Amino acid sequence: MELFQVGTDPWGQEILIRISWGLLTLAFWTGIAFVLFHAVYAVVWKPKLTPDGGGVPSGAEANVPQRVVRHTGAARMFHWVMAASMLTLLATGFLPIVGLEFSWLNIHWISGLILILCILYHIVHASFFLDFWSIWILPGDLKEAMQRTRRQFGQAVDVGKHGKYPIDHKLYHLSVTIFALVVSVTGLLMMLNIDTPIVPRNETLFTAANWGIVYVLHGFSSVLFVTLTITHIYFAIRPDKLWMTKAMVFGSVGRDDFLSHHDPKRWVVTQDGPK
Ligand code: HEM
Ligand code: HEM
């Protein structure tokens, strides 16, 4: 399979134009294959493993209120506006490529700017108002990753309960952070290659070869979002994850759900709310 579409510059040298759209097909089927594989794994293999978070009670259970706020109103608003802009970007970016012609470009860059504003807002909100470190992979998570791997191979390892986010959520968030940055920076540059009322067109900013690199980076991170979004929505609608999905709609989780997944010493909550 070709990875890139190539062309020639005015001097006859071969240059990159963009990624090959075969990678879009690959990203889509990778997402579907992951979902199918995981759905079978969850029925056949997972029940044989030591369940999560047996272990000894951490002693902080008494402080956990009946309902625990998982996502504040502002965080939920951010998530849903970002999700809507991302789904619009995916639809406007890829439907024309798979054959559904419509005038996509204006809707695309406007949604792109909304996504970028959401991300800027989220950086400020998460840095000053949320528990910043709760979503990042820290040295302690590597221990958890090793334990989880050993457990997958059938060893009786008690992984223990986690803080607010388990390592798979942290990995997903890290991937989204990296590729959203790439797609945003390249998307902003690509706005100089089209007519918009926001910035004057300036396609001479880069040589044809360098524009090719910008388009390749935009395309590559865009197709990764196809796989990331398919798997993310799959986990959100799995019956065993619905307690978390409800919290992304209504804000809080019940005490029982909290205690069966979280160690209250690692995600400290009080009667007044999470810390
Ligand atoms: C994950 C989110 C995004 C996806 C899936 C996506 C997807 C795409 C795709 C498939 C194309 C066609 C590229 C080509 O012809 O080689 C494109 C073009 C474009 N994208 Fe995005 N994009 C995303 C985010 C953004 C952002 C954040 C912006 C910034 C405002 C943006 C601005 C543009 C522009 C201006 C073009 C048109 C370039 C042209 O036709 O010359 N995109 N995008
Ligand atoms: C419409 C379908 C979607 C549903 C049902 C959904 C659901 C959820 C839920 C339930 C969570 C919270 C997980 C937790 O509490 O630990 C979450 C978090 C998150 N979502 Fe979505 N989401 C959707 C679309 C998207 C899209 C399109 C993006 C774009 C990148 C996105 C990015 C994120 C990020 C970065 C997080 C934080 C990391 C995490 O908690 O795992 N979501 N989503």
pLDDT digits (tens, 9 = 90+) for 126-178: 999 999 999 999 998 998 889 889 988 888 888 888 899 999 999 999 999 99
Nearest to 272 by CA among 40, 67, 51: 67
Residue 64 has pLDDT above 70, yes or no: yes
Q: Which of helix, strand or coil describes residue 50?
A: coil
Ligand 1 centroid to Cα of residue 109, in Å, is 7
Q: 94 CB under 6 A from ligand 1?
A: yes
Q: Is residue 273 part of a domain?
A: no
**Token reading at 214:** 């910008």
Could you give the CA distance from residue 242 to residue 193 in angstroms, rounded to a whole number?
A: 43
Looking at the CA of residue 24, tell me the nearest atom of ligand 1.
10
Looking at the CA of residue 110, tell me the nearest atom of ligand 1.
30
Structural domain including 238 reads 4-54+63-266
pLDDT of residue 82: 98
pLDDT of residue 164: 94
Strands 252-254 and 269-270: unpaired
261: domain CATH number is: 1.20.950.20
More confident residue, 133 or 62: 133
Could you give the CA distance from residue 47 to residue 189 in angstroms, rounded to a whole number?
A: 49
pLDDT of residue 117: 98
Q: Is residue 19 part of a domain?
A: yes
pLDDT digits (tens, 9 = 90+) for 27-40: 999 999 999 999 99
pLDDT digits (tens, 9 = 90+) for 1-36: 899 999 998 889 999 999 999 999 999 999 999 999
Distance of CA 265 to the CA centre of its chain: 27
pLDDT of residue 274: 53
Could you give the CA distance from residue 269 to residue 75 in angstroms, rounded to a whole number?
A: 17
Instruction: Please give the C-alpha separations between residue 58 and each of 150, 250, 264, 265, in angstroms, as whole numbers.
Output: 23, 28, 7, 7
Q: Is residue 180 part of a domain?
A: yes
Q: Is residue 246 part of a domain?
A: yes
- Which residue puts its alpha carbon closest to atom 10 of ligand 1? 93
pLDDT of residue 156: 84
Q: Is residue 272 part of a domain?
A: no
Could you give the CA distance from residue 46 to residue 40 in angstroms, rounded to a whole number?
A: 9
Angle among Cα 101, 102, 106 to the nearest 5 degrees reads: 135
162 HSE (CA, 13 A, CB side)? 21
Our mutation pick for probing the ligand 2 site, out of 111, 225, 232, counting the most ligand atoms within 8 A of Cβ, is 232
Q: Is residue 274 part of a domain?
A: no
Nearest to 245 by CA among 253, 236, 254: 236
pLDDT of residue 182: 98
Could you give the CA distance from residue 158 to residue 151 in angstroms, rounded to a whole number?
A: 8
The phi, psi pair for 193, rounded to 5°, reads -100, 0
Residue type, 177: T
Strands 67-69 and 252-254: antiparallel
Could you give the CA distance from residue 23 to residue 90 in angstroms, rounded to a whole number?
A: 14
pLDDT of residue 152: 86
Question: For 42-67, what is the mean pLDDT?
Answer: 80
Residue 275 has pLDDT above 60, yes or no: no
Ligand 2 centroid to Cα of residue 118, in Å, is 14
Sign of CA dihedral 32, 38, 39, 40: positive
- How many domains does the chain fold into? 1
The phi, psi pair for 68, rounded to 5°, reads -120, 125
